[in-house]
């Protein structure tokens, strides 16, 4: 169903509503009956007026119509409450399903998709889409359906009284609705731009607040305010254009309603004057005119609000439901890792028109531990991203145990790889939950064992709530070294056959790193390991080193072999080491 989610708000709303059709049918039934009964009251009023004005008065007839008036009101009110109870179930369940589907679809986007967007803006777009579509359907259920259904009923009642009254009402309705739909379509583009500017503003504010410490440290509060102010002004300008169109629509609607009132009342009095209709019909016409006027006087504003929410919902859906760049093929199979052999066969890969790999090949036998070494921009981290299939190669293939990773499910691929990134990010949850994230079925004992292997148990025990300590947004309450140990603990707990270490110890001090090396050696046992490293200490236990420069392998061999090369690239890097670091910025 995820692949079939439509970007059109109405189509999306219908699709999700089908999941809860019994409540939809119930709500529509109650609204239809309640609307008919409400409009039926003008017929009761007509007959009651005629009964009172008849000479001689038939008092029994007066009583019958007088009693029907409150009875119909009570039944209609009960139906409206029925629509409230069923509508409540419809819309609350709609919100549940819509949020679930949109979040699920969003999570399937590639890493590059999220790198190019504000997290706060994406959250806002989901909220806009769900809130906007719910508003559209609520308006349709409790306002537009009753108005349009009631209009048809009134046209029938007026026509049955005298065809001229029905004809005036029908023609005026067509003209009124046609003009308003025209303005609604014109308003739609303005509303879309207004929603887009508001969403961008919110995302920018979230980004600014997320980096507020940086703003303070650089004493740039005034500059940041000016930066945000530009987005605020764009939102204001877009909102003014949208509102201006709706205000002119209100002016036009007021004029049309005035003409309608004049025509209907004048025609009914003329017909009464010529003894064509009864006084009861005149009263009915006045009641119809009063009801329609009160409902339609602000319909331009309601259309403006509705189109505004439509624009918000459409803008949100188009962003969230954009095509998945990295996705499972239709007949994707689960990866079966029997050994852990990795084969990179003549791949080409470019990112944003910049070539990274050209006819690149690398074979990693099962269980081998290789170190990827190279200056920033050489392609080391990109290599790891291709293995995890955050990107697809443009040519060639990446295979694990002979299986092309483009033909297997993303979930099974990533389950087979334990990845310890350089920049460790944690959830604002407990340490227990953060470590256990790699293996949701793990017991408390297994989680603590993983923490001990990662040399994390000691500092965790010293925290106020131990393993139940909340780590803050992205783990800000922990130091960089503590966050990396949590990430390493996750890798221990995952127990995957392939291990990728991207500067896994870069945030540790020398003492902590020495302590964790023993654990890493344990972690690397019987696994195929790819270690991206700048620190020589991380490379000591590697079976093989692969030196990459400009997306090409320039040296390949053991540490001893490469150090024997006169003027070798790795030897040159080794000779320039200072206190265990290779002089180079971290990629």
Terminal CA-CA length for the chain: 39
Confidence class of residue 586 from pLDDT cuts 50, 70 and 90?
very low
pLDDT reading at 207 higher than 90: no
Q: Which DSSP symbol is given to 372?
A: E
- Residue-range domain boundaries for the chain: 2-320, 340-416+543-587
SS3 522: helix
What's the CA angle centered on 249, arms 244 and 253, to 5 degrees?
150
Q: What is the pLDDT of residue 95?
A: 94
Q: How many Å apart are CA 508 and CA 513, to the nearest integer?
A: 6
Of 488 and 425, the structure prediction assigns the larger pLDDT to 488
What's the CA angle centered on 431, arms 426 and 433, to 5 degrees?
85
List the single range of 41-45, 496-500, 563-567 with lowest mean pLDDT: 563-567
Q: 340-416+543-587: what CATH class? A: alpha beta
Helix residue ranges, H only, 274-323 = 279-296, 299-320
List the single range of 330-334, 489-493, 535-539 with lowest mean pLDDT: 535-539
Q: Per-residue pLDDT tens for 62-91?
A: 899 889 989 999 999 999 999 999 999 999
CATH classification code of 2-320: 1.20.1560.10
- Rounded mean pLDDT of 274-298? 88
Q: Which DSSP symbol is given to 467?
A: G
Most confident of 43-57, 206-220, 511-525, 531-545: 43-57
Any idea how long the chain is?
587
Of 253 and 9, the structure prediction assigns the larger pLDDT to 9
Q: How many Å apart are CA 499 and CA 506, to the nearest integer?
A: 17
Most confident of 130-134, 347-351, 450-454: 130-134
Handedness of CA 206, 304, 187, 24 (dihedral sign): positive
DSSP codes, 10-33: HHHHHHHHGGGHHHHHHHHHHHHH
Q: How many Å apart are CA 252 and CA 184, to the nearest integer?
A: 13
The model's pTM is 0.77
Q: How many Å apart are CA 411 and CA 334, to the nearest integer?
A: 8
Cβ(530)–Cβ(544) below 8 Å: no
- Rounded mean pLDDT of 507-514? 66
pLDDT reading at 186 higher than 80: no
């Amino acid at each position: 169903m995820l692949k079939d989610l439509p970007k059109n708000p109405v189509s999306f709303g219908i699709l999700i509503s089908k999941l809860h059709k019994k409540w939809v049918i119930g709500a529509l039934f109650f609204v239809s009956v309640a609307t008919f009964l409400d409009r039926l009251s003008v017929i009761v009023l007509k007959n009651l007026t005629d009964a009172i004005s008849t000479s001689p008065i038939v008092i029994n007839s007066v009583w019958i119509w007088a009693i029907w008036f409150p009875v119909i009101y009570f039944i209609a009110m009960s139906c409206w409450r029925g629509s409230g109870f069923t509508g409540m179930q419809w819309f609350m369940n709609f919100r549940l399903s819509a949020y679930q589907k949109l979040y699920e679809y969003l999570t399937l986007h590639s890493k590059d998709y999220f790198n190019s967007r504000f997290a706060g803006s994406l959250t806002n777009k989901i909220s806009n889409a769900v809130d906007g579509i719910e508003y559209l359907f609520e308006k349709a259920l409790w306002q537009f359906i009753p108005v349009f259904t009631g209009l048809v009923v009134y046209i029938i009642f007026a026509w049955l009284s005298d065809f001229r009254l029905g004809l005036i009402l029908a023609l005026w309705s067509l003209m009124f609705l046609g003009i308003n739909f025209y303005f609604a379509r014109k308003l739609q583009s303005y509303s879309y731009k207004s929603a887009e500017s508001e969403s961008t503003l919110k995302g920018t504010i979230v980004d600014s607040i997320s980096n507020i410490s940086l703003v303070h440290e650089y004493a740039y509060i005034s500059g940041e305010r000016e930066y945000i102010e530009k987005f605020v002004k764009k939102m204001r300008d877009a909102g003014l254009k949208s509102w201006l169109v709706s205000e002119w629509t209100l002016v036009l609607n007021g004029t049309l309603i005035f003409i309608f009132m004049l025509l209907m009342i004048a025609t009914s009095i003329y017909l009464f004057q010529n003894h064509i209709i009864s006084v009861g019909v005149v009263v009915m016409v006045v009641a119809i005119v009063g009801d329609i006027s009160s409902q339609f006087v602000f319909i331009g504003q309601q259309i403006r609000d509705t189109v505004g929410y439509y624009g918000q919902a459409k803008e949100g859906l188009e962003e969230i439901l954009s095509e998945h760049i990295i996705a499972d093929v239709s007949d994707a199979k689960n990866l079966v890792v029997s050994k852990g052999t990795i084969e990179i066969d003549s791949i080409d890969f470019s990112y944003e028109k910049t070539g990274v790999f050209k006819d690149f090949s690398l074979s990693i036998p099962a269980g081998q531990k290789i170190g990827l070494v190279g200056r920033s921009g050489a392609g080391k981290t990109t290599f790891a991203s291709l293995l995890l299939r955050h990107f697809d190669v443009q040519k060639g293939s990446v295979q694990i145990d002979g299986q092309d990773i483009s033909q297997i499910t993303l979930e099974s691929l990533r389950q087979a790889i334990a990845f310890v990134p350089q920049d460790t990010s944690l959830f604002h949850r407990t340490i227990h939950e953060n470590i256990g994230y790699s293996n949701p079925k793990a017991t408390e004992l297994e989680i603590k064992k993983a923490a001990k292997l990662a040399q994390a148990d000691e500092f965790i025990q010293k925290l106020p709530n131990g393993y139940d300590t909340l780590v803050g947004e992205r783990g800000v309450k922990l130091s960089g070294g503590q966050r990396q140990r949590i990430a390493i603990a996750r890798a221990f707990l995952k127990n995957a056959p392939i291990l990728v270490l991207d500067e896994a110890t870069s945030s540790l001090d020398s003492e902590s790193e020495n302590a964790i090396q023993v654990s890493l050696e344990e972690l690397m046992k019987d696994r195929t390991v790819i270690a991206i490293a700048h620190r020589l200490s991380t490379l000591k236990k590697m079976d093989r080193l692969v030196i990459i420069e400009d997306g090409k392998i320039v040296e390949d061999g053991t540490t001893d072999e490469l150090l024997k090369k006169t003027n070798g690239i790795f030897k040159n890097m080794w000779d320039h080491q200072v206190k265990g670091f290779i002089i180079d910025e971290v990629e």
